[in-house]
Amino acid sequence: MKKLSTASKIYLLLVFIVLYAPIFYLIFYSFNSGGSMNSFESFTLDHYQAVFEDSRLIVILINTVIIALLSGLIATIIGTLGAIGIVSIKDKKMRNTILSLNNVLIVSPDVVIGASFLILFTMIGVKLGFTSVLVSHVAFSIPIVVLMVLPKLLEMNTSLIDAARDLGASKRDVLTRVILPYIQPGIFAGFFLALTYSLDDFAVTFFVTGNGFSTLSIEIYSMARTGISLTVNAISGLVFFVTVLVVIGYYTVTNRRKRVSEEVQR
Amino acid sequence: MKSLVQATVAIIVVCALLFFMADRLESAGSAGSKDTITVYNWGEYIDPDIIDQFTEETGIKVIYETFDSNEAMMTKVEQGGSAYDVAVPSEYMVEMMKEKDLLLPIDHSKLPNLQNIDPYFLDLAFDPGNKYSIPYFWGTVGIVYNPSLVADHLDFTSWEDLWDPSLKEKVFLVDGAREVMGMGLNSLGESLNAKDETLLRQATDKLITLSPNIKAIIGDEITPLMINNEATVALTWSGQAADMMWENEELDFAVPEEGSNLWFDNFVIPKTAANLEGAHAFINFMLDAENSAQNNDYVGYSTPNAAAMELMDPEVIEDERFYPDEELRDKLEVYENLGLRWLGKYNEYFLKFKMSIR
């Protein structure tokens, strides 16, 4: 890679400042003993303590993570198989139609999706709560997974599959030993995107929560109605910290794997 | 393929662990209680300790959910799917929910603590005889301002003060047709429930003369602006003003003498309720003098509970900005349900006023 010029370095720096400034500003004040974001008085961990002492908030946080992980997982499985299905459609017109239908769901507003789910669930008598939230999160994540997996599938050389077939691989072997390993980066990307979508979704979740089940986005929104308290800052700080840890963990694991496979190849 | 399977198994294991944790945490607070009620309330509108005390005393576990607007709350109650035993709508929403047949009548014989409520707040137009609702908190609409940033002669005991030329581009209004039109009508000495085309037109004309003074018409964003002294004067609800004054001690609040709006948030029992006994027990518990006093201390809005007021800090109770004297109280009006046609007119004139700004 060529070395970056000073101008582009400054530009890059500015971009990152714009991206991270609000988060750091928020985290900075989560340590403020003053009780508001007006002026920084002195360092305190009281707000973090408040988060950990509030078992209701912790349960909500855990719920949010469970929903994100599970919905991400289910959506990734369905979405990946769906993408493989779409690619294997021979009729070009048909394939484009299905792809457009997939894309319509990505751009359609969350409120509309949320309201439709609410009407659907109450009509067929599903009790609002964990299941309804999980199902709707899976639903809105699938199109994203499809979109993340698709490029990998399209870039795959079809002669790979033909070769596998010629060597006597069964359909199952082709899927598990050729296609899935090849598109694995796309699958992981899809999973992580589904994860973030689920973590941050407010509009859809708002409609389909009920019976005491709540997620962080809903809780923070109703807490913020009376002005942002520093507990919100503290919990946001915690979530950000955990996210950073997950990302670092993910990269070390993939890098190690890469190194291992490179060594094997050597 | 191997790593995909590994990742899947890892996710499932983590989920199972989290499930277990959440379950332990949830059951920790309420060992062995089968009885539960679901309470649907505004965000940060109750002392969390009160809920624990209620569970301790009665053995009824409380599932507590929050909403941020009357309309959102009604939508969820109306759609069903969740069994809310107690909800806390504002007075106009009580009326609407009553009309839509979404409420169950409240059995007063199960609420011995109802006697704690000041009779002044009972039997009001929006719910005669309190058949469906019990007042929880109340407040007014008034003007919050920063005395050090306005001219000395302004104390906002009259709506006219808003029209003062020194306040050019300094006034913030809440974005509510009833609140702003009500202010216009009140400033003319008229009722804020007026159903009269000429009066509405006059009020709008009067409001339009205020437009040079108006900086913006916004919602909850007023709170941080006032706290940070970035705004000088704002028309807002007393509860919101109390929050601002808690954060910024310089601020002051006034309810103009010509009259203003008196609002209520009330306990109701929605049609979807699954545990009527529990719902009544909860409302009764909240009406108890001691519990109410503790809760008022935490929430900071004005309470209708006379018995609780005796237990509270006299400084709070005697603050006439939030507990107005009788003379002013007589001039306060509760919003009446205007009906769709007149509500439309209020909105129409409010829009006309909004368009006149710059």
Among B8, B28, B63, select the one facing A73 at the smallest CB separation.
B8
Structure tokens at A91: 């009729």
Across chain A, what does the average pLDDT equal? Answer: 86
Q: Which residues of A touch B15 (CB under 8 A)?
A: 66, 69-70
State whether A66 and B21 contact (CB < 8 Å). Answer: no
pLDDT band per the 50, 70, 90 thresholds, residue A250:
confident
Chain centroid offset of residue A56 CA: 24
Give residue A18's pLDDT.
Answer: 94
Give residue B333's pLDDT.
Answer: 86
Give residue A175's pLDDT.
Answer: 86
Give residue A266's pLDDT.
Answer: 58
Nearest to A227 by CA among B102, B240, B344: B240
Give residue B270's pLDDT.
Answer: 93
Q: Which residues of A touch B65 (CB under 8 A)?
A: 209-210, 212, 214
**Closest Cα in chain A to B274:** A211
State ipTM.
0.73
Q: Has residue A222 got a pLDDT over 80?
A: no
Q: Is any Cβ of chain B less than 8 angstroms from the Cβ of A114?
A: no
Structure tokens at B137: 């908190």
State whether A62 and B18 contact (CB < 8 Å). Answer: yes
Please state the pTM of the whole predicted model: 0.69
Among B81, B243, B248, select the one facing A121 at the smallest CB separation.
B81
Nearest-angstrom CA–CA distance, A244 and A238: 10
Q: Has residue A224 got a pLDDT over 80?
A: no
Give residue A247's pLDDT.
Answer: 82
Tokens 């997982």 correspond to what residue? A73
Q: Is any Cβ of chain A less than 8 angstroms from the Cβ of B71?
A: no
Question: Using one digit for the tens of pLDDT, what is the confidence trace for B103-137?
Answer: 999 999 999 999 999 888 888 888 889 999 999 99
pLDDT band per the 50, 70, 90 thresholds, residue A1:
low
Question: Using one digit for the tens of pLDDT, what is the confidence trace for B220-238?
Answer: 778 888 888 888 899 988 8
Give residue B228's pLDDT.
Answer: 82
* The Cα angle at residue A30 between residues A26 and A34, in degrees rounded to 5: 115
State whether B65 and A214 contact (CB < 8 Å). Answer: yes
CA separation (Å) from A62 to A92, A124, A215, A249?
44, 28, 9, 20
Distance from CA of B56 to the nearest CA of A (A): 16
Give residue B285's pLDDT.
Answer: 94
Structure tokens at B99: 């009309």
Distance from CA of A211 to the nearest CA of B (A): 5
Nearest to A223 by CA among A61, A76, A20, A78: A61
State whether A73 and B14 contact (CB < 8 Å). Answer: no
Q: Is any Cβ of chain A less than 8 angstroms from the Cβ of B243?
A: yes
Structure tokens at B12: 């499932």
pLDDT in tens, chain B (358 residues): 777 888 888 888 888 888 888 888 776 554 444 688 889 988 778 888 899 899 899 888 888 887 777 877 888 888 776 788 999 998 888 988 998 899 999 999 999 999 999 888 888 888 889 999 999 999 888 999 998 888 888 888 889 898 988 888 888 988 888 888 989 999 888 888 888 889 999 999 999 999 888 888 887 778 888 888 888 899 988 888 888 888 888 899 999 888 898 888 999 999 988 889 999 999 999 999 999 999 988 887 889 999 998 888 888 888 888 888 888 888 888 888 777 788 888 889 999 998 888 6
What is the rounded average pLDDT of the residues A9-34?
89
Structure tokens at B260: 């203003």
Are B159 and B167 within 8 A, CB to CB?
Answer: no
Q: Is any Cβ of chain A less than 8 angstroms from the Cβ of B20?
A: no
What is the rounded average pLDDT of the residues A147-154?
90
Q: For chains A and B, what is the number of CB pairs under 8 angstroms?
A: 110
Distance from CA of A129 to the nearest CA of B (A): 8
